[in-house]
With several copies, the nearest count.
Chain A
C-alpha cells in the first residue's frame, strides 16, 4: 500500500507530535518523581479505608470516655439509648429498598431490615424518653 504525499506529511506530523508528547511525558515524569513521595505524604492518594479506620479508632476513644462519664443511676437508659442509636444501620436498609429495585431479593431483605431497625429506633428512643422523664429532683 502506497502512501500519498499528504499522508506522509500527516504521518510525520504525528511522529513529531508523538516525540513532543514523549519529551513532555518525560519532563512530567521527572516532576512527578520529585513530588511522588511528597504526594504520598500529603495523603492525596490515601485509601479511604485508612481514614475510616482512624475515625473508628478515635470514636472508640470517645466512646470509652463518654460512657465512663455516664452516671451509674442512668445505666439502664444508657443501654436503651445505645440500642436505639445502633439502629442507624437503617441507612443500609434504606439504600437497599430505595435503590435496588433491580433485585427483588435485595429489596426484600432491605425491607425486613428497615422494619426491624424502625422498631428499634422508635422503641429505643421512646422507652428512653419514658425512663428519663421519671428522673426528677426533689421538689422544694
Chain B
C-alpha cells in the first residue's frame, strides 16, 4: 500500500471518529455513531497491518495480542454493572496512558520501525513529541489508577494532603522539562526512563490530594490528557488518525470537565488544587438549632402520589448507590397506570459523572423522552403535585439559589420546593457531596422518607397495591 493511500485511509478513520461523536447528539443516531467508530478503528488497524506487512511470527503475535486484550475487554464490557461506569472509565483511561508509554518506549528502542531515525540518531523533533507523549501518558496512567481506586472504594476518598506538595509538584515539573531537554541532547535510555518515573510519580501526587467526590472531574480531565498524549504520539508517527483522535478526545475531556465545574459552580483550579470533600468529610445536619422535620412512611407517600395529577421524579447519587432505578421504574409504571403524569428531572451534575442518571434510567427502560434536563423542566415544578426526590440532595438545595453565603451559591438547582409536596428519600438527615445542610428538609411542604432508596421505593409500590 502506498504511503499516500495509507494516509488517506487514516484520514478516513479520523473522519469516522468525528462521525461517531456526532452521532451522540441524539439518542436515535447514537448507535449508528458507535458503528462508525468501530469501522474507523477497523480501517486504522487494517491499514497499519497492510503497511507493516508483518512476518508470520509477527502476525501471530498481533492476533494473539488482539485476542487476549479483546476478550478481556469484551468480557468486562458485558459483565460490568452500569453503576460502576465511573470506575470503568477511569480504569480504561489508565490503560490508554500505559499503552502510550509502551508505544513511546518501543519507538525509543526500534526507531526504524517508526521511521523516525535509527538508534542513536532519532530526529530531535520526534524526541520532543515522544517525550511529551510519554510524560502525559504516564501521568494519565497513575492518575487514572488513583482515580479508579478512589471511585471503586478500594482507597479512601479522603484527600491526602502532603506538606509542601505544591513545591514537590513544581519541582517534578521542572525536572521533567530538564529531562526532556537532556533526552533530546543525549538520547539516553536512562533519561527516557527517568522521564517515565518522574511522570508516574507526578500522576500520583497530582491526584491523591483530590477528594473522592471530585473524581469525576479528574476522570474527565485525565480523559483529556490521554487525548493529548495520543496526539503527541500522532505527531511522532505522522499518523493523521491519531492526531485527529487526540484532538477530539482532548477537547471532549476538557469540555466535560468544564460542564461539571460550571454545574457545581466551582472553578477548575479549585478542583485540581484538591482538599475538597471526600465522602466521609460530609458533616451531618445536626449542628445546633433544633428544627422540626416531618417524616413519613411508605403508605403516606403512596397515598400522596396516587392522588396527584403530576409527579416529577428527581434522582440523585443515592439512587445509584441503592441501585433503585428498576424499583423506580415500577413505581412510575404504577402511577402512569393510574393516570398520573410522570416526568423525570435530571440536574447536570446529579450523580457522580455527567449523564450518570440518564444511563441508569435508560438501563431501567425509562424512555428518554420522559427524561428532561434542568432548563426544560424547572418551570414545571410549580404545576407539580409531588416532587419525588430519590437520593438527590445538593442539586435541590435552595441555599444555592437564595443564600449568598453558601459555598454552593450560584449553582443552578432543581426547584423542587415549588412543588406542592416534596418527598425526600434518603437514609438520614445527613448532607450530600458538598457537605452542607439542606434547608429543604425542614420546610412545611417536605416529607422525609428515611431509608434506603431501593427498599423505600419498593415499599411504596407495595403500598400502592392496597
Contact = CB atoms under 8 A, between A and B. Distances in A.
Nearest to A36: B115
B2 interface: yes
B7 A101 contact: no
Interface stretch (A7-15, A19-27, A122-130): A122-130
A131 B118 CA distance: 45
A46 B25 CA distance: 35
A89 B242 contact: yes
A89 B141 CA distance: 14
B265 interface: no
Contact of B237 (A37, A42, A84): A42
B112 A110 contact: no
Given A127-B88, A130-B78, A91 B102 contact: no
Contacts of B237: 41-43, 91-92, 95
B112 A34 contact: yes
Nearest to A87: B96
Interface string A98-140: 1111110111011111111111111111111111111111110
Contact of B354 (A41, A51, A57, A75): A75
B227 interface: yes
B62 A98 contact: yes
A43 B2 CA distance: 10
Contact of B115 (A40, A80, A117): A40
B58 A98 contact: yes
Interface of A, secondary structure class, is helix
A132 B30 contact: yes
A97 B58 contact: yes
A109 B69 contact: no
Interface string B106-117: 111110111110
A92 B417 CA distance: 55
Interface residues of B, number: 132
A106 B110 CA distance: 6
**Secondary structure type dominating chain B contacts:** helix
Contact of B219 (A39, A74, A79): A79
Interface in B243-297: 243-253, 255-256, 259
Interface in A61-98: 61-64, 66-98
A55 B34 CA distance: 23
A52 B235 contact: yes
Given A54-B240, A71-B27, A139-B367, A76 B353 contact: yes
User: Which 5 A/B pairs are nearest by Cβ-Cβ distance?
Assistant: A118-B69, A43-B238, A63-B251, A42-B115, A123-B73
Interface of B: 1-4, 6-8, 10-11, 13-15, 17-18, 20-22, 24-28, 30-31, 33-34, 37-38, 40-41, 44-45, 47-49, 51-55, 57-59, 61-62, 65-74, 76-78, 80, 82, 85, 88-89, 92-93, 95-96, 98-100, 102-103, 105-110, 112-116, 118, 125, 219-220, 223, 226-227, 230-231, 233-235, 237-253, 255-256, 259, 346, 348, 353-356, 358-359, 362-363, 365, 367-371, 373
Interface of A: 31, 34-35, 37-64, 66-103, 105-107, 109-139
